[in-house]
Amino acid sequence: IRESATLTRDVLEQHFNDLKGTLKKLLDERLMSLLQEVDAIEQESIKPLDECQKLIEHGVSTADDLLREGESAVHGDVGQQNEKLCSFTKKALHIQLDSLPEVPSLVDVPCLSAQLDDCLLTILKNQIFRHGTVASRPPVQLEEFIEKPGGILVRWCKVDDDFIPQDYRLQYRKSTASHFEDVYVGSETEFIVLHIDPNVDYQFRVCARGDGRQEWSPWSVPQIGCTTLVPHEWTAGLEGYSLSSRRNIALRNDSQSCGVLYSKAPTYFCGQTLTFRQVLSGIETVGQPDRRDSLGVCVEQQNGYDSLQRDKAVCISTNGAVFVNGKEMTNQLPAVTSGSTVTFDMEVVQLGPSSNEGGNFKLRVTISSNNREVVFDWVLDQCCVSLYFGCSFSYPGWKVLVF
């Protein structure tokens, strides 16, 4: 409680300090805009009046000069009087002393004033007093963490019956990191977070957005998740396949070489779910299918084969056919296409001797693809709790993520 209260105080103080700075900046910008508007009106309106004043002052000055010249002619010497009067008369005839420039009427002269409406303060006051809330309980909480090879399946649930969620938002960070980052936004209530380092603590939190709302709810209480399972990796160096930097994505390239691409180690254990996801490789569709194409698991790596449709292996082909120890089953699954997800689940159902088929180790296998599944028993002559996985494609363009 104390930790969340301290964090909430820090968030509130930071938010309102940011608001203060933003409001001051906006008010300063508005003030500057209004002052510039006053300057512009003043300059535009005063110009014709200044010109009129200059003309009047010039006329008055000219008349004053002429008046002095007339007085000088009258009071001057008799010999020069006629000459000065003649010059005075000529200037008087050329100067229009009875005309004035057009002066704008008083109603046409601007008179500036500031119109400030006090209702802005009322609006701001009402908005500020309604801004922000403090929630004691978020409407969603993290519910479960399930270890996956190189990942964690995170589940969450709604704990507020009155809250109607539209979307969820999941974030995570390493315990040593300072910032959370988004890893999922959507309507599902679970998500597999990949690229998780084994035996490293990660913090997770989730929030939700109500139906028809834009803002997100408060965050759930952060919880720590961890996986001890090493990530699945494809074997590097096989001609015909290009791998991602984490070696969990394999792309069938345009090399003519073919063969089965196996996992680096037998990292699939009974009781887990192995998932293959077909993703686009930068082209519009996946590669051309072939009957030898396969995705599946096997007891051991066997080179020299161009498909997993062989002994000691179970697989599904891209056309949906299921093979067990090289034999095709009658049950058929949907074809594998772009975006398809294929999962393998296995559990031990029999150990020890006594089997009409000659084996003493039996696994219950469930293969799912596009919301359909087949279940069968896989009989082996040796105990196997960890298996290799593999894939083979005859044509380029296929791109498979494994987790």
**DSSP track, 40-86:** HHHHHHHHHHHHHHHHHHHHHHHHHHHHHHHHHHHHS-HHHHHHHHH
pLDDT score of 399 more than 80: yes
> pTM for the whole thing?
0.63
Residue 48: what pLDDT?
77
pLDDT score of 28 more than 60: yes
pLDDT score of 79 more than 80: no
Look at 79 and 293; give whichever has higher pLDDT.
Answer: 293
Residue 257: what pLDDT?
84
Lowest mean pLDDT among 45-49, 165-169, 249-253: 45-49
pLDDT score of 261 more than 50: yes
Residue 283: what pLDDT?
47
Q: Is 259 left (phi over 0), alpha (psi -120 to 50) or beta?
A: left
pLDDT score of 10 more than 50: yes
What are the tens digits of pLDDT across the range 306-341?
Answer: 999 999 999 999 999 999 999 999 989 999 988 889
Contact 329, 323 (CB under 8 A): yes
What are the tens digits of pLDDT across the range 348-380?
Answer: 987 655 444 445 789 999 999 988 999 999 998
Residue 55: what pLDDT?
80
Look at 258 and 275; give whichever has higher pLDDT.
Answer: 275
Residue 80: what pLDDT?
66
Domains and CATH numbers, the chain: 1-130 (no CATH), 140-227 (2.60.40.10), 241-402 (2.60.120.920)
Mean pLDDT of 252-275: 91
The candidate with the shortest Cα–Cα distance to 160, out of 198, 217, 110, 112, is 217
C-alpha to C-alpha distance for 70 and 89, rounded to whole angstroms: 9
pLDDT band at 132 (very low <50, low <70, confident <90, very high): confident
pLDDT score of 58 more than 50: yes
Residue 77: what pLDDT?
66
What are the tens digits of pLDDT across the range 83-122?
Answer: 777 777 777 777 765 666 666 677 777 788 888 888 888 8
E strands along 135-260, which residues? 140-148, 151-158, 165-174, 181-186, 190-193, 202-210, 223-225, 241-243, 249-252
Q: Residues of 112-145 as b/e, b for ≥16 C-beta within 10 angstroms?
A: eeeeeeeeeeeeeeeeeeeeeeeeeebbbbbbeb
pLDDT band at 285 (very low <50, low <70, confident <90, very high): low
pLDDT score of 382 more than 80: yes
Q: What percent of the chain has pLDDT over 70?
A: 92
Residue 102: what pLDDT?
67
What are the tens digits of pLDDT across the range 164-187?
Answer: 899 999 999 998 888 999 999 999
Contact 286, 397 (CB under 8 A): yes
For 270, other C-beta atoms within 10 Å of its C-beta total 16
Mean pLDDT of 205-213: 89
pLDDT band at 27 (very low <50, low <70, confident <90, very high): very high
Q: What is the mean pLDDT of the chain?
A: 86
Residue 355: what pLDDT?
46
Q: Exposed/middle/buried for 170, CB within 10 Å: 0-12, 13-18, 19+? A: buried
Residue 103: what pLDDT?
65
